[in-house]
Chains A and B, each alone.
Chain A
Amino acid sequence: MDDVTVERSVTLGASPEEVWENVVEGALAGEWMGAPISIDPRPGGKVDFAPDGTPYLGTVEEVDPGRSITWSWRHPDRDPSQVTITVEPDGGGARLTVTERLLPYTITDARDLRPPVDSSHWLPEVSLAA
């Protein structure tokens, strides 16, 4: 079975720089995701997102500033996944592609994703397959 992955992309009139600033760093970050999101765009940085009031626990894994960012996250009630957003020039505008991949075996660093208080309700679900 191949990776379970969802990929979507969109072509935008704005420049790649403008898209990156809005998506990752700027004012639109809260709007386009449907709920406020805060991304600390450096490896190990936190991704804060709580669309239904319960926070996703997310950690940035890789950043190529202005071009791509990858983070892993999980909602306590859902499976962990890895999100990659890439922004590339497309004509006079930009093409943004997002890939979300179900993480089948393990979380990159479970410590980063551990909730601050009671983790007992979800830690057993994180399993390491040989």
Chain B
Amino acid sequence: MTEQVFAALADPTRRTVFDLLVESGPASATRLADRLPVSRQAVAKHLAVLEDAGLVTRERAGRETRFVANPAALDEVSEWIVRVGSTWEARLQRLQDRLG
């Protein structure tokens, strides 16, 4: 859901977690916590929110759970902006045709 993606990225720490995964590739919660000024537990909570929004998925690598960014989830927001923008453009054009 677009609104879940938006809410997930509204938090600056979650945004950083997501950016790290996009830039540096899959990582465990522990490794992410090493690079952030927050605890591993806090990172795990943020990852759960990102996962619910479809922004990250998890994979097993041996005994480790690694998190993988899914930037495609952002496409929903872009799609909304394009669709809503073009819909209003068509409406305003019709209005101008009549009330020009």
B96: chain A residues within 8 A (beta carbon): 10, 12
Q: Interface on chain A toward B: helix, strand, loop, or mixed SS?
A: mixed
Q: Is A98 part of the binding interface, using a Cβ–Cβ cutoff of 8 Å?
A: yes
Among B2-10, B33-41, B64-72, which stretch is in contact with chain A? Answer: B2-10
The CA-CA distance from A1 to B67 in the complex, in Å, is 22
Given contacts A33-B91, A81-B84, contact A1 B10 (CB under 8 A): yes
A34: chain B residues within 8 A (beta carbon): 87, 90-91, 94
The CA-CA distance from A44 to B14 in the complex, in Å, is 36
In the assembled complex, the CB of A121 is this many whole angstroms from the nearest CB of chain B, namely 13
Given contacts A4-B6, A6-B81, contact A28 B89 (CB under 8 A): no
B residues sitting closer than 8 Å to A (CB atoms) are 1-4, 6-7, 9-10, 15, 77, 80-81, 84-85, 87-96, 98-100
